[in-house]
Amino acid sequence: MLQRCEFTDSILVLTPVDEPTMNPRDEVVLALTDDIDAVEATGGGSFSSSSKRIALTGHFVFKATAILVYLFCAWFTSSFVVPFVFVLISLALDFWFVKNISGRILVGLRWSSYTDENGHTHWRFDSRPAAPEPSGGVQLSRRELAARAAATNAARLFWIGLIGTPLVWSVFLLAAVFSLQFRWGLVAAMGVGMSAANLYGFSRCRLSDLSEGTSNVLSGIQSKLTRQVFKDLWSNMTRRSNPPSKADHSPSASVPIDA
């Protein structure tokens, strides 16, 4: 229990202060990346160019390290354990970095899983909202155009590395199987599994983002058509309730004017 110190007429008075209690059911989770929506709300969704360069560098460094160790380890050692450990560490670092850092910074996507109170595993596929397009007549500055082009190129490189890595490891797996190097085939299979897991997760994030955008467009079209239909029905009803008078259709009689 905390106590607050107060001085009253040169007398020290200690007043007990209740500590904030925490519900034992509350869970405190320390994670590197929070919810993307929460980050967007606090203004943390935009990253600097240096952060993107670091993310892009790490996106390829760990992949290249695992592949180079797998290819050239026989030049330096005849042991299998040391290269296996190095490749496994590189694959694990690449999996974690892509899942938690480079995917979130470069393309605004993140996938994760959590377990509820009943022990069921749930998967989440989050995507950051796209930057709004400039309205008609608004011209972007050169800096903004360069930033958009850099973001597009970074996203393209992200997907190239994400898709190309499981393909490379699949080639290594086939080569190991046909050459009867089953130990190295196991290493290549681990590379295929880890890289394919990230590819599947980010593909689901991308597809969910596209489906959400398509549903928004369809809902907008549907609401527009609904308003148009009700507008036409209302105009037809008002036309029937107020028929035109006969005087409006009768020809006007000509009145002779005396000279």
pLDDT(191) > 90: yes
In this prediction, what percent of the chain has a pLDDT beyond 90?
32
Please give the residue that has the higher pLDDT: either 231 or 220: 231
Which H/E stretch holds residue 69? Answer: helix 49-72
Q: Which of 57-61, 108-112, 138-142 has the lowest mean pLDDT?
A: 138-142
Which H/E stretch holds residue 72? Answer: helix 49-72
DSSP-derived secondary structure for 124-151: EEEEPPPPPPPPTTPPPPHHHHHHHHHH
Query: From CA 34, how far away is CA 104, in angstroms rounded?
Result: 10
Report the SS3 class of residue 70. helix
pLDDT(92) > 90: yes
Confidence of residue 242 (pLDDT cuts 50, 70, 90): low
The first and second tokens of residue 249, run together, are: 């259709």
Q: Which residues contact 37 (CB under 8 A, 6 or more apart)?
A: 126
Confidence of residue 62 (pLDDT cuts 50, 70, 90): very high
Mean pLDDT, all residues of the chain:
73
Query: From CA 209, how far away is CA 132, in angstroms rounded?
Result: 15
- DSSP-H helix ranges across the chain: 36-41, 49-72, 81-97, 142-178, 182-241, 246-249
Q: What is the pLDDT of residue 193?
A: 94
Q: Which residues contact 197 (CB under 8 A, 6 or more apart)?
A: 95
pLDDT(239) > 70: no
Confidence of residue 110 (pLDDT cuts 50, 70, 90): confident
Parse the chain into domains and list their residue ranges: 48-114+123-128+142-237
Please give the residue that has the higher pLDDT: either 71 or 209: 71
Please give the residue that has the higher pLDDT: either 78 or 86: 86
pLDDT(42) > 60: no
Query: From CA 180, how far away is CA 165, in angstroms rounded?
Result: 23
Q: What is the pLDDT of residue 35?
A: 47
Confidence of residue 135 (pLDDT cuts 50, 70, 90): low
Q: What is the pLDDT of residue 134?
A: 61
Nearest to 190 by CA among 87, 59, 77, 79: 87
| Single pTM value for the model | 0.61
Q: Which of 49-53, 84-88, 183-187 has the lowest mean pLDDT?
A: 49-53
Please give the residue that has the higher pLDDT: either 46 or 92: 92
Whether 97 and 59 have beta carbons less than 8 Å apart is answered as: yes
DSSP 8-state symbol, 101: I
